[in-house]
Amino acid sequence: MSAPVAGARAIAGDIAAGRTSAVDVCRAALDRIARVNPSLNAFNLVTAERALVRAADIDRRRAANAPLGPLAGVPLAVKDNLCVRGMRTTASSRILDTFVPPYDATVIAKLEQAGAVIVGKTNCDEFAMGSSNENSAYGPVRNPWAADRTPGGSSGGSAAAVAAACVPLALGSDTGGSIRQPAAFCGVTGLKPTYGRVSRYGLLAFASSLDQIGPITRNVEDAALALQVLAGPDPMDSTAAQEAVPDFTKALDGHARGVRIGVPRAFVSDGVDGSVLASFDAALDALRAAGATLVDIDLPHAKYAIPVYYLVCTAEASSNLARYDGVKYGYRSPDASKGLKAMYSRTRDEGFGAEVKRRIMLGTYVLSAGYYDAFYLKAQQVRTLLRQDYDRAFESVDVVVMPTSPTPPFRLGEKTDDPLQMYLADIFTVSVNLVGLPGISVPCGIVEQPRPGGVDRLPIGMQFVGRMFDEATILRVADAFERTTEWSRQEPC
């Protein structure tokens, strides 16, 4: 499955210098998708014609010496919960099967302005709810490293598309790990920016106090480059922060000297697969070698992150998804003639999948009178304690490091019968969203596991978590780590 694919920066550089054309790059990406997607199922939609027109436009601009954006000609895959004008956008849900947005998400407008060329929309868990991509109405995505394993979720299609060398850059969204965990499972890099760093306008909302959009790439430098384009305030999203946007690429100086990295030992040792711990410990040595100082820290409330997250996100989801009622857009039950109430309930019953229904019901329950104080309010209080844990940690360290997932990529079907087991797999990612901090997952190891007739090589990831709006430091440390190890250059075979 391996194909030599350059990163986004290299591709944009080659196009700008005339060493290749945007149309040739676009054709190569489309060929690759045509070859691997029938088995991967990473794309819900491939927009070949539109992509080739846009690529030709980039080549024309170059020929005319018109200014080119920093991502000019870079093939881009977009998670299917982000609106692109005129392009079917489904959130991998039957209820939006026919939805065509009349506007662009702000991130789409920014990336296209920078010259990126959208080649398609990627498969994901329905409304981004899941950790394995198995909750998609269009079937699961397969992991490019091992076809019977999950690519992670919910941005499984985006991560698989980057790992399988279809595109050097994909967009994901991360509410509780959906960029970082699939990036870890597919052996690529995934960045969840600080809450508010990137506008959410045009993202189909799951849990609005947690959702963030970010890039999935083949290396840290491309993540920095993409964030540079994505970041900044937006009049269309009042939560998009006014915070100044630094030069992220400039922060990558190749080492981690002077950086204090906190290791939450007690939190990390519990219930973590031995192969993940071994990779993690080896990675800590590499960080020391790159100049970082390691410091033991404590996040005493992190163990409550799963229940807190699954109360908060379901509460917000039940409210956000109330809009899918068969009236305004998307699917309407053909059996809708028996009155308004029947139309609502038939449409939602037929349109939503099992996990989405489970969350709507859970969320409605935790918000209902009589239970609100016991569940939702309590969860928000523990969320504050979690924030205080991180605040305290960041008094003595600049970055916190953890595995991204407690296990290597698991098998398709392995956790589908037991939602709780699936939720527990999110233990290391969700606290980061609950507090709003930036986090980046990078490859940090490969574990070999026997399978009938051979051996699976499975990627392991770890994440760096930074202070609010300090993506620059986690990018710097992740880049230094990438340079001292080989993990980001491994390819699925």
Residue 54: CB minimum distance to ligand GLN, A? 28
- List of residues 6+ apart from 60 with CB closer than 8 A: none
Residue 228 engages ligand GLN in binding (rule: CB under 6 A): no
Distance CA 43, CA 141 (A): 9
How many residues bind ligand GLN, per CB under 6 A? 13
Q: Closest distance between ligand GLN and the C-beta of residue 396, in Å?
A: 29
Q: Which of 79, 121, 192, 415 is the catalytic position?
A: 79
The partner residues of 157 in beta bridges, in order of sequence, read none
Counting contacts by CB under 6 A, is residue 176 touching ligand GLN? yes
Is 333 marked active-site? no
The number of beta carbons lying within 10 Å of the beta carbon of residue 34 is 12
Stretch that binds ligand GLN, among 122-130, 231-239, 386-394, 400-408 (CB under 6 A): 122-130
347 binds ligand GLN (CB under 6 A): no
Binding flags for ligand GLN, 293-332, as an x/- string (CB under 6 A): --------------------x-------------------
Stretch that binds ligand GLN, among 157-165, 176-184, 258-266, 341-349 (CB under 6 A): 176-184
Select 154 or 228, whichever has its Cβ closest to ligand GLN: 154
Query: Which of 221/471 has CB closer to ligand GLN?
Result: 471
What CA–CA distances, in Å, run from 467 to 237, 248, 392, 481, 489? Answer: 22, 15, 11, 19, 28
Q: Which phi and psi angles does 338 have, rounded to 5°?
A: -95, 30
Q: Which of 129, 230, 286, 297 is in the footprint of ligand GLN by CB under 6 A?
A: 129
Q: Which is nearer to ligand GLN, 101 or 190 (CB)?
A: 190
Give the type of residue at 59: D
Given the residues 93, 132, 136, 154, select the one marked as catalytic: 154
Q: Is 7 helix (H, G, I), strand (E, B) or coil?
A: coil
CA distance 274 to 278: 6
Q: Identify the bridge partners of residue 234 per DSSP, sorted by sequence position.
A: 237
**Residue pair 447/419 in contact by the 8 Å Cβ criterion:** no
Q: Per the structure block, which two tokens stand in for 316?
A: 């917000």
Task: Name the region of 209 (left: φ>0; alpha: ψ -120 to 50; beta: rest).
Answer: alpha
Position 123 contacts ligand GLN (CB under 6 A): no
Nearest approach, Cβ of 130 to ligand GLN (angstroms)?
Answer: 5
CB distance 107 to 41 below 8 Å: no
Name the residue nearer to ligand GLN (CB basis): 112 or 174: 174
Bridge partners of residue 83, in order along the sequence = none
Does residue 337 carry a catalytic annotation?
no
Residue 277 has φ and ψ, to the nearest 5°, of: -60, -40
Q: Which amino acid appears at position 145 of this protein?
A: W
Decide whether 128 or 397 has the Cβ nearer to ligand GLN. 128
Q: Which of 37, 90, 131, 333 binds ligand GLN (CB under 6 A)?
A: 131
Number of neighbouring beta carbons within 10 Å of residue 140: 23
As a residue count, the chain comes to 493
Report the nearest approach of ligand GLN to the CB of residue 346 (Å): 26
Is 441 a residue that touches ligand GLN (CB under 6 A)? no
- Tell me which stretch binds ligand GLN (CB under 6 A): 112-120, 169-177, 247-255, 292-300: 169-177
Instruction: List all residues 6 or more positions away from 313 whose beta carbon is below 8 Å from its beta carbon.
Output: 175, 176, 206, 207, 210, 359, 363
Q: Is 251 helix (H, G, I), strand (E, B) or coil?
A: helix
Q: Looking at beta carbons only, is 69 or 409 nearer to ligand GLN?
A: 409
Residue choice 178, 189, 228, 404 for contact with ligand GLN (CB under 6 A): 178
Q: Which of residues 138-167 bind ligand GLN (CB under 6 A)?
A: 154
Please tell me whether residue 353 binds ligand GLN under the rule CB under 6 A: no
For the segment 198-217, give every residue that binds ligand GLN (CB under 6 A): 206
Q: What is the rounded distance in angstroms from the CA atom of residue 306 to the CA atom of residue 423?
A: 7
- Establish whether 178 is a catalytic residue: yes
Query: In the bound complex, what is the minimum distance in angstroms from residue 488's beta carbon to ligand GLN?
Result: 22
Q: Which of 178, 318, 333, 441 is catalytic?
A: 178
What is the closest distance, in whole angstroms, from the C-beta atom of residue 421 to ligand GLN in the complex?
Answer: 12
H helices of 254-403, where?
A: 265-269, 274-289, 305-320, 340-351, 354-367, 378-396
Footprint of ligand GLN (CB under 6 A): 128-131, 154, 174-178, 206, 313, 426
Residue numbers annotated as active site? 79, 154, 178
